[in-house]
């Protein structure tokens, strides 16, 4: 087992440096900018229908209460009350379908080891606005949709979902990084209270890989620069992402 995999298994979360070079980060930033500009201007102009088919996530119940979901050309765009915009719109084609992007060697081995076969990769992105002073942080949650509405049972099962986050800017404690509870992929909500926490502080080009079971939250962005992130979620094909696609 390599070192990154060992950390992933222990903490449910690992930071892997220098996975993507600057031409790729620039390309992602360009794609991201085009998509978010289309989304934000369309929302501003009242161009998109809102659709209310977000299903409550057992591990992130607040999401349903605090989000508005727009239909942008058939893709769901989730806008959270704290201004976070999560979207798959525009995040396809070209580089985003390249196997070297979806499965960089440092990540591919871990994904394969965890999910074995019969999984796919979906790309999405998250825009976090600047100057989030008044609004709150995205609360602690797991990304998985529960399989059996039973936390202990879900946690005892093999992995069915992992995500690779790719910050497009260097992350600092101020600009809206993510915070993880280490070991929480194997721990109940109660047990999580005793576990150590870590704020992910990667540079653009680093990635962080975490289990869908790992409890995490988004931190406020108090800087005056927006915080863009692209992510790839690896999921067994028999699981539906109930949170967005039902």
Ligand X SMILES: O=C(O)CCC(=O)C(=O)O
Q: Which residues bind ligand X (CB under 6 A)?
A: 126, 128, 138, 143, 176, 178, 216, 218, 229
Angle at 29 between CA 171 and CA 27, to 5 degrees: 125
Which tokens belong to 92? 């396809």
Closest approach, Cβ 227 to ligand X, in A, equals 7
- Plot region of 196 (φ>0 → left; ψ -120 to 50 → alpha; else → beta): beta
Closest approach, Cβ 187 to ligand X, in A, equals 18
Closest approach, Cβ 38 to ligand X, in A, equals 20
Tell me how far apart the alpha carbons of residues 231 and 32 are, in angstroms, rounded to a whole number.
11
Tell me how far apart the alpha carbons of residues 135 and 17 are, in angstroms, rounded to a whole number.
31
Q: Please tell me whether residue 100 adopts helix, strand or coil conformation.
A: helix
Which residue's CB is nearer to ligand X, number 138 or number 166?
138
Which residue's CB is nearer to ligand X, number 19 or number 82?
82
Contacts of residue 46, Cβ cutoff 8 Å, sequence gap at least 6? none
Beta bridge partners of 15: 208
Which residue in 28, 12, 37, 42 sits closest to 161, CA to CA?
12
Contacts by residues 155-158 (CB-CB < 8 Å, ≥ 24 positions apart): 155/185, 155/186, 155/187, 155/188, 155/213, 158/114
Closest approach, Cβ 176 to ligand X, in A, equals 6
Which residue's CB is nearer to ligand X, number 38 or number 216?
216
Q: What are the φ and ψ backbone dihedral angles of 227, each rounded to 5 degrees?
A: -115, 105
Which residue's CB is nearer to ligand X, number 2 or number 174?
174
- Plot region of 93 (φ>0 → left; ψ -120 to 50 → alpha; else → beta): left
Which residue's CB is nearer to ligand X, number 90 or number 124?
124
Which residue's CB is nearer to ligand X, number 11 or number 143?
143
Closest approach, Cβ 138 to ligand X, in A, equals 5
Closest approach, Cβ 137 to ligand X, in A, equals 8
Closest approach, Cβ 199 to ligand X, in A, equals 11
Residue nearest ligand X (C-beta atom): 218
Which residue's CB is nearer to ligand X, number 96 or number 229?
229
């Amino acid at each position: 087992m390599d070192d990154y995999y060992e950390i992933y298994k222990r903490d449910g979360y690992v930071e892997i440096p220098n996975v993507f070079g600057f031409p790729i980060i620039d390309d992602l930033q360009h794609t991201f900018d085009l998509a978010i500009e289309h989304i934000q201007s369309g929302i501003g102009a009242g161009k998109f229908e809102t659709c209310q088919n977000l299903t409550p996530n057992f591990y992130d119940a607040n999401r349903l209460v605090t989000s508005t979901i727009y239909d942008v050309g058939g893709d769901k765009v989730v806008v959270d009350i704290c201004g976070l915009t999560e979207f798959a719109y525009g995040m396809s084609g070209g580089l985003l379908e390249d196997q070297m992007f979806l499965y960089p060697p440092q990540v591919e081995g871990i994904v394969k080891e965890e999910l074995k076969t019969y999984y796919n990769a979906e790309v999405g992105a998250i825009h976090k606005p600047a100057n989030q002073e008044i609004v709150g942080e995205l609360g602690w949650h797991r990304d998985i949709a529960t399989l059996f509405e039973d936390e202990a049972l879900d946690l005892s099962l093999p992995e069915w979902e992992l995500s690779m986050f790719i910050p497009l800017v260097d992350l600092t404690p101020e600009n809206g990084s993510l915070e993880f509870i280490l070991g929480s992929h194997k721990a109940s909500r109660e047990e999580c209270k005793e576990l150590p926490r870590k704020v992910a502080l990667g540079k653009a080009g680093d990635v962080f890989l975490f289990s869908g079971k790992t409890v995490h939250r988004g931190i406020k962005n108090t800087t005056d620069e927006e915080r863009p992130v692209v992510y790839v979620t690896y999921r067994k094909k028999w699981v539906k992402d109930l949170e967005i696609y039902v």
